[in-house]
Amino acid sequence: MPYAPPRPDPTLPPLRVNLFSDTQTKPTAAMRAAMLEAEVGDEQRGEDPTITLLCERMAALLGKEAAMFLPSGTMCNEIAILTHCRPGDAVLAHETAHILTAEGGAPAALAGVQVVGLPGKLGQFSPETLREALTPHSRYALSQRLLVSEQTSNLGGGSVWPLAELDAVADIAHAHGMATHMDGARLMNAVVAAGISPRDMAAGYDSVWLDFTKGLGAPLGAVMAGSAAFIDAAWRWKQRLGGALRQGGMCAAACLHALDHHVERLADDHENALALARGLAQIPGLGVELPQTNLVFFDTAGLGLEAEALSSRLRRETGVLISAMGRFRARACLHLDVSRADVDLALAAIRQVIATTERN
Q: Indicate the domain borders of the chain.
A: 29-261, 265-359
CB 76 within 8 A of CB 99: no
Per the CB < 8 A criterion, the answer to whether 145 and 90 are in contact is yes
Strands 295-299 and 329-333, bridge-based pairing: antiparallel
- Residue 292 C-alpha from the chain's centroid: 15
Confidence band (pLDDT; 50, 70, 90) for 2? Answer: confident
Instruction: Tell the burial category of 233 from Cβ atoms under 10 Å away from its Cβ (0-12, 13-18, 19+).
Output: middle
Instruction: Give pLDDT, residue 327.
Output: 96
Write out pLDDT tens, residues 34-53: 999 999 999 999 999 999 99
CATH code of the domain made up of 265-359:
3.90.1150.10
Instruction: For residues 218 and 25, give the distance between their C-alpha atoms in angstroms, rounded to a whole number.
Output: 8
Q: Identical fold at 29-261 and 265-359?
A: no
How far apart are the C-alpha atoms of 46 and 31, rounded to whole Å? Answer: 24
pTM: 0.96
Q: Which residues contact 189 (CB under 8 A, 6 or more apart)?
A: 152, 158, 160, 215, 266, 269, 270, 293, 294
Convert the pLDDT of each residue in 206-264 to its tens digit: 999 999 999 999 999 999 999 999 999 999 999 999 999 999 999 999 999 999 999 99
Residue 301 DSSP one-character state: G
Kindly tell me the sign of the dihedral angle through the C-alpha atoms of 302, 307, 309, 311.
positive
Fill in the DSSP letter of residue 119.
-
Distance CA 249, CA 247 (A): 5
End-to-end Cα separation, the chain, in angstroms: 31
How would CATH label the architecture of 29-261? 3-Layer(aba) Sandwich (3.40)
